[in-house]
Amino acid sequence: MEATSGAFTPNREVDDMRWSPLAEAERLLTRDADRELLRRFAACLGSAEPGAALEG
């Protein structure tokens, strides 16, 4: 996926923005609450992604 418009400016909460597979995104997140939100999102999708490490 690729953004077609908009802009991103790094700030004190988010220093980078990019598309990542769910398993990679889970490794990149630093807050437990963010990882839990990602797990819930993956559960809604059915998390059929190969290599997904999204276990509760």
* Alpha-carbon distances, residue 40 vs 2, 4, 10, 34, 43 (angstroms): 24, 27, 26, 10, 5
Q: Tens digits of per-residue pLDDT, 16-55?
A: 888 889 889 999 999 999 999 999 898 888 855 544 555 5
pTM over the 0.85 mark = no
Question: Rounded CA gap, 3 and 33, in Å?
Answer: 26
Which 3-state string (H, E, C) describes 2-55?
CCCCCCCCCCCCCCCCCCCCHHHHHHHCCCHHHHHHHHHHHHHHCCCCCCCCCC
**Domain residue spans of the chain:** 18-49
